[in-house]
Each structure stands twice: as C-alpha cells, then as structure tokens.
C-alpha cells in the first residue's frame, strides 16, 4: 500500500490568518485546511500504510507510537488555539480524501456551528486530586504485638485509620470539585486514571475538566491553588489551558451540569 | 519506529502544562494519560470516518488495557494495602 489518507485534527470557524508555516503534525506532515459550509477542517496527509484500519489497530497497541501520534495531534490543536477556538477531533479520525472531509463537514455543519458558538473564547482546565500516602502512626509501629489478639486489634486499627484517611481525602475532593464547578461554565468528570499508566503516587480520587472563559482563567487557577495548595490529605494537580476537548462533543453540555457530577471518580 | 519531528520536547511549547501542588513552580509537559483522557475519551467523534467509529473506541480502550497489563509485569493484587474483610 502506498496510498495516502487524510487525518483531521480539528474543526474550526474560518481562520483569520494562515497556519504557522513551521507547524508539523502526525508523521511530520504540515497541516492544511479544507474549507466547506463556512467551516474549516485542519487536515494532514498520512500514509495509508500506517492509518488504514489494520495497521492502525496494530499501532494503537504500541504505546510509543500512540504517544508520538497523540503528542503530534495535540501539537497541532495547541497551535490552533493561538488562532481560534478549535473543536478537537478524536485521535486518528481518518478519511480517504478531501472530499470525504468535506462530506463530514457537510453532515455535521449545524452541530459544529452550534458547538463552536458555545465554546468560543473558552478553555479547559484539568484538575486531578490524589489521596496522599501517609506514614503509619508511630504507636502502630511500636513494639511487637504481645499476642494474637493484640495483633488483630492493631491490624484493625491500621485498617480503620487508612479508611478514615481515604474518607477525609474523598471529602476534600468533593469540596474542591464543588467549589471549582461553581466557577466553571461546564464540568466533565473523566474516569479515575490507571496508576500503572499515570505512574502517579496515591489513589486518583478526582479527574475532572472545567470549562472556563479564557479571561477568567487566572482567577480559576488561583482558586485551585488556594483550595488545594497546602493540604496534608490530598495532592492536587492542574493541567491546562487545553483546547476544550472534554466539551467538544454535542452531548457534553446536556450531560454535564455544573453541580458536582462526581460519580465514577470517587469510591 | 520513530518520527523525528514528533519527538516530545522537554520544555513545554504552546498549549497546556501540568502544575503539581507539591511543586507549584515546576511546570512540566502534560502526561500521556492526560492526553489520552482527551484524545481517546473525549473530542468530537465523526460519523463516516474511515477507521475509528464510535463502536471502535471501546475496542481501543480494551487494547490499551491489555497493553498496560502486558508492560507491567507485576500486576498488583486487588487486596494489596487493604483487608478483604
């Protein structure tokens, strides 16, 4: 197979200026624009040998390939945020040719226009809360147990202490989420991250995205620092500003009301 | 295989950075998991694309899970750090 396919990064409103000349996307190819129905699809040429269904499936199991592709995709989307508010597409959205891309714009035109209007001027901030691992109580680490019953009693105390610490951390996570949701236009709670993939210490209690007007970002970041900066029970990690990935699909707005959707992240 | 132009850079370029409450001054490149939450877990899903349709996304996640357990030799026991009763 020596053919070429079209990889679409994002849909945007018409751009005021050209794409940065030095911008490179997946496979090192410079992205270009496909325009139709008052919309722009930021597109790149990719080899069929990598992106046809079979090779793509194989590549997606290769963590290194996945990372390179995801970072290249994100690099293009990040560059677009300097020009406009992009609607990022899911990784590896591929068409046979430019006509296929135009047909996708045609079919989705109303929804794209509505979503672009809803997200214009907004950015996404990611906040993750982890339970901190705490050192065992000095009392519990003292002399050897004097009997089997003593051992069981201590064991029970340890378990209870650990459960209490986790409950405290979860409560802090809920409080922080509610406070941030009140400052956001929309909220999306992602599933807790797999610690083997994230390599992050402590249990991930909250993994949420908040949609914030760009000009209120500073305020939002300060609030995160104020709420999570110096806590002994939880560690807070902030990422952003992202293009509004988590809010780009049509259903996001209907499903995410800004009042503490916390399910799936705690417990 | 390596795409030379897609080499992750140590210094964050435009776009998001990660800030940790323990090291508020240390700004890092965002982690792959955070990217995948967004690039596989959200983002617009277009009908009519050639390869990954909505139905295929779950398949990608399943592949990823298999991948994660295969790269991690030691799979922690579900009881680790907790008493089963």
ipTM score here? 0.79
Q: Pick B19's closest partner by Cβ from A52, A238, A249.
A: A238
Same domain for A20 and A84, yes or no, is: yes
Q: Give the number of residues written for chain B.
A: 85
Chain B's closest residue to A53, CA to CA, is B51
Q: Which residue has the tokens 């970072």?
A: A71
Residue A12 included in any domain: yes
**Which pLDDT band, with edges at 50, 70 and 90, does B50 fall under?**
low
Quickly list DSSP for A220-245. HHHHHHHHHTT-SSEEEEEEEEEPSG
pLDDT tens track for A107-121: 999 999 999 999 999
Q: Over 60: is that where the pLDDT of B4 sits?
A: no
Lowest-pLDDT choice from A11-15, A152-156, A160-164, B53-57: B53-57
d(CA A243, CA A64): 23
**Which pLDDT band, with edges at 50, 70 and 90, does A256 fall under?**
very low
Domain boundary among A75, A94, A119: A119
Which residues of A are less than 8 Å from B47 in CB distance?
104, 107-108
Question: Residues 35..64 of A with a Cβ closer than 8 Å to B: which?
Answer: 51-53, 56-57, 60-61, 63
Domain boundary among A77, A101, A119: A119
Helix, strand, coil tally for chain B in percent (to 5): 35, 10, 55
**Which pLDDT band, with edges at 50, 70 and 90, does B7 fall under?**
very low
pLDDT tens track for A192-250: 887 777 778 888 999 999 999 999 999 999 999 988 877 778 899 999 999 999 999 85
Q: For residues A139 and A66, which has the higher predicted lDDT (pLDDT)?
A: A66
Q: Which domain holds residue A39?
A: 4-119
Report pLDDT for B48: 54
End-to-end CA distance of chain B: 48
**Taking CB atoms and an 8 Å cut-off, how many pairs form between chains A and B?**
203
A149 touches B at CB < 8 Å: no
Query: A186 forms bridges with which residues in the sheet?
Result: A211
Q: For residues A261 and A198, which has the higher predicted lDDT (pLDDT)?
A: A198
Q: Which residues, including other chains, have CB under 8 Å from residue A64's CB and lie 6 or more apart?
A: none
Q: Over 50: is that where the pLDDT of A7 sits?
A: yes
Report pLDDT for A74: 94
Q: Are A244 and A213 in contact (CB under 8 A)?
A: no
Same domain for A79 and A147, yes or no, is: no
d(CA A160, CA B46): 48
Residue A267 included in any domain: no
Q: Pick A65's closest partner by Cβ from B1, B49, B72.
A: B1
Domain boundary among A119, A148, A183: A119
Residue A265 included in any domain: no
What total of structural domains would you count in chain A? 2
Structure tokens at A31: 């992205």
Residue A235 included in any domain: yes
Same domain for A109 and A161, yes or no, is: no
Same domain for A142 and A103, yes or no, is: no
Q: Pick B37's closest partner by Cβ from A162, A207, A230.
A: A207
Report pLDDT for A52: 83
Q: How far is B85 from chain A (nearest CA, A)?
A: 10
Which residues of B are less than 8 Å from A242 in CB distance?
15-16, 38
Residue A262 included in any domain: no
**Which pLDDT band, with edges at 50, 70 and 90, does A135 fall under?**
low
Same domain for A143 and A207, yes or no, is: yes
Same domain for A61 and A19, yes or no, is: yes
Q: Which residues, including other chains, have CB under 8 Å from residue B31's CB and lie 6 or more apart?
A: A198, A200, B18
d(CA A127, CA A114): 27
List of E strands, A73-185: 87-88, 94-95, 122-131
Same domain for A131 and A172, yes or no, is: yes
Q: What is the mean pLDDT of residues B68-78?
A: 42
Same domain for A114 and A213, yes or no, is: no
Same domain for A90 and A131, yes or no, is: no
Q: What is the mean pLDDT of residues A77-106?
A: 91
Same domain for A126 and A14, yes or no, is: no
Same domain for A126 and A115, yes or no, is: no
Beta carbons within 10 angstroms of residue A28's beta carbon: 13
Chain A's closest residue to B3, CA to CA, is A27
Eight-state DSSP code of residue B5: G
Residue A260 included in any domain: no
Report pLDDT for B49: 61
Task: Flag if B45 and A69 touch (Cβ within 8 Å).
Answer: no
Q: What is the mean pLDDT of residues B66-77?
A: 44
Residue A198 included in any domain: yes
Residue A14 included in any domain: yes
Eight-state DSSP code of residue A140: G
Q: Over 70: is that where the pLDDT of B63 sits?
A: no
Same domain for A92 and A141, yes or no, is: no
Q: Which residue has the tokens 């899970």?
A: B65
d(CA A133, CA A234): 9
Report pLDDT for A231: 73
């Amino acid at each position: 197979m020596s053919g070429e396919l079209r990889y679409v990064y994002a849909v945007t409103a018409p751009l005021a200026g050209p794409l940065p000349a030095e911008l490179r996307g997946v496979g090192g190819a410079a992205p270009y624009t496909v325009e139709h129905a008052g919309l722009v699809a930021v597109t790149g040429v990719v080899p069929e040998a990598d992106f046809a269904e079979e090779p793509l499936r194989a590549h997606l199991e290769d963590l290194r390939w996945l990372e390179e592709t995801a970072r290249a995709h994100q690099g293009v989307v990040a560059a677009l945020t300097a020009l406009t508010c992009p609607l990022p597409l899911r990784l590896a959205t591929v068409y046979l040719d430019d006509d296929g891309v135009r047909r996708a714009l045609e079919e989705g035109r109303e929804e794209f226009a509505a979503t672009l209007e809803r997200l214009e001027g907004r950015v996404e901030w990611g906040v993750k809360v982890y339970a901190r691992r705490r050192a065992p109580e000095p009392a519990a680490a003292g002399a050897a147990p004097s009997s089997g019953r003593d051992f069981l009693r201590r064991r029970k105390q340890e378990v209870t202490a650990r459960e209490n610490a986790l409950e405290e951390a979860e409560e802090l996570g809920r409080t922080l989420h509610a406070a941030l949701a009140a400052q956001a236009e929309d909220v999306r709670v992602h599933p807790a991250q797999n610690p083997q993939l994230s390599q992050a210490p402590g249990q991930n209690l909250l993994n949420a995205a908040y949609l914030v007007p760009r000009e209120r970002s500073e305020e939002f970041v300060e609030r995160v620092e104020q709420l999570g900066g110096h806590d002994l029970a939880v560690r807070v990690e902030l990422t952003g500003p992202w293009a509004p990935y988590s809010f780009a699909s049509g259903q996001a707005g209907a499903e995410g009301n800004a009042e503490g959707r916390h399910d799936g992240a705690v417990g | 295989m390596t795409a030379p132009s897609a080499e992750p850079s140590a210094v964050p370029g435009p776009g998001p950075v990660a800030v940790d409450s323990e090291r508020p001054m240390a700004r890092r490149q965002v982690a792959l998991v955070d990217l995948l939450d967004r690039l596989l877990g959200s983002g617009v899903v277009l009908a009519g694309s050639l390869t990954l349709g909505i139905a295929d996304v779950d398949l990608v996640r399943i592949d990823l899970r298999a991948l994660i357990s295969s790269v991690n030799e030691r799979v922690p026991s579900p009881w680790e750090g907790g008493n089963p009763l």
